[in-house]
C-alpha cells in the first residue's frame, strides 16, 4: 500500500470516509453497510472509495472505525500515525 502524507487532501478524504463508515456502521451494523452507503454518507462517489481502500473488507476493524469518529480530526491523524496497523 502507498503511504499517505499527513495533512494531504487524500488523507483528509480518507478520514472523511472513515467517519462516514463509523456513522453508517453504528446506525446499520457492519453487515448492513455497503461501499455505496458509506460514500453516500461521505458525500463522495462510489468509485472514489477504491482510491483509498482495496475493498470493503479493507476498512479497519469496527472498533477502530467507531473510535475514529469520536475523535477530533487532528487527534485522529496523530492516532493514525502512531497506530498504523490497518493501513
pLDDT for position 66: 56
pLDDT for position 76: 44
Angle between the N-to-C axes of helices 35-42 and 9-28, in degrees from 0 to 180, rounded to the nearest 10: 120
CB contact at 8 A, 20 and 35: no
| Domains in the chain: ranges and CATH | 9-82 (1.10.10.60)
3-class SS of residue 76: helix
Is the confidence at residue 24, as pLDDT, over 50?
yes
Please tell me the pTM assigned to this model.
Answer: 0.65
pLDDT-derived band at 15, boundaries 50, 70, 90:
very high
Report the 10 Å Cβ neighbour count for 25: 20
CA within 13 Å, CB half, 11:
15
pLDDT in tens, 37-75: 999 999 999 999 999 999 888 887 755 655 655 554 544
For 14-53, the DSSP string reads HHHHHHHHHHHHHHH-GGG--HHHHHHHHTS-GGGGGGT-
Amino acid at each position: 500500500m502507498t503511504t499517505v502524507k499527513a495533512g494531504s487532501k487524500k488523507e483528509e478524504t480518507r478520514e472523511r470516509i472513515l467517519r462516514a463508515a463509523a456513522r453508517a456502521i453504528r446506525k446499520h451494523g457492519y453487515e448492513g453497510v455497503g461501499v455505496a452507503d458509506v460514500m453516500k454518507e461521505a458525500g463522495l462517489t462510489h468509485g472514489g472509495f477504491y482510491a483509498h481502500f482495496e475493498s470493503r473488507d479493507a476498512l479497519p476493524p469496527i472498533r477502530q472505525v467507531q473510535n475514529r469518529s469520536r475523535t477530533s480530526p487532528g487527534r485522529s491523524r496523530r492516532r493514525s500515525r502512531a497506530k498504523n496497523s490497518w493501513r
